[in-house]
A and B are shown apart, each in its own frame.
Chain A
Amino acid sequence: MITRLTHASVYVLDQESAHDFYVNKLGFTEKMKVPISDDAFWLTVSPKDQQDFELTLMPINKGGMFNSEVAKNLSDLVRKGTFGIGVFECMDVYATYQELKGKGVEFTKEPKEQFYGIEAMFKDDSGNWFSLTQYNEEHKI
């Protein structure tokens, strides 16, 4: 029986910049930073109140995981904002929206009522999309 998801990855264009975005703007905690090659890290972060889940900030061009053609194609797709990655839950979407916007996070949708709660949408520094949602009582997970 599978019980939980503990790791998931998001491809980022620049690990240093992604680290700054997730830690200093979103307020995540750095969980792991292990050198895996001369120019890449195994780099994971967790939301402050969910320390048992790690989001891996995966390098595309560094670390040698992909050949140059794949790396270029994947970088282009990420940069174009092709990928919706996931949903971050918050207690109060208006407060979180206000705070993150003040820190320079690019929102593509302001908070708006949906049947499941209030949702805003933003991009990370690479171009990956995330929902930011305050679930209503009926749809709390």
Chain B
Amino acid sequence: MSEDIHPKMYRYKRIVDAKLYIDENFHEKIDLGIMSAQANFSKFHFARLFKKSFGKTPHQYLIDVRLAAAKKSLKQYKLVQKVCFDVGFESVPSFISLFKKKEKMTPNQYLKMLRQNEIDKANTPFSFIPGCFSQNFQKHN
């Protein structure tokens, strides 16, 4: 690696490590203030560098990771309340509100949609596939 890249890599490593920590521990209680101190940055500087690298503040990122994990769990048809606490949210109403804001539907509506999708996928799988692709699959099946 060239010398001009290396210092950047070192600086970014701490930010990347923080992101990976969130990725792996989102279901735990995460104190972003402590996290920034561990990365050796002030809270403000940490948030600014994190946003520059990943497009959102550590707090926004944590919420998004939890919501993505919630969607994944809902796909296994787990109860909304269980999913909420499993992914690290501390209040069901706040989880529902954040979920609705991002997905434009409540977790229960999302579950209902998933169930309907499963039925449709089983009955008419090729209706989910754009024609330019499905004609090849259907031709050979």
Contact = CB atoms under 8 A, between A and B. Distances in A.
Given A9-B133, A92-B12, A42 B128 contact: yes
Interface in B9-58: 9, 12-13, 15-16, 19-20, 52-55
Contact of A32 (B8, B55, B128, B141): B128
A95 B16 contact: yes
Contacts of A56: 133
A95 to B, nearest CB: 4
Contacts, number: 69
Contacts of B12: 92, 94-95, 98
A36 B141 contact: yes
Nearest to B51: A91
B129 A42 contact: yes
Contacts of B129: 34, 36, 42
Interface residues of B, number: 27
Interface residues of B, dominant DSSP: helix
A102 interface: yes
Interface residues of A, number: 27
Interface of B: 1-2, 5, 8-9, 12-13, 15-16, 19-20, 52-55, 68, 121, 125-126, 128-130, 133, 136-137, 140-141
Interface of A: 7, 9, 29, 32, 34-37, 42, 49, 56, 58, 63-66, 91-92, 94-99, 102, 110-111
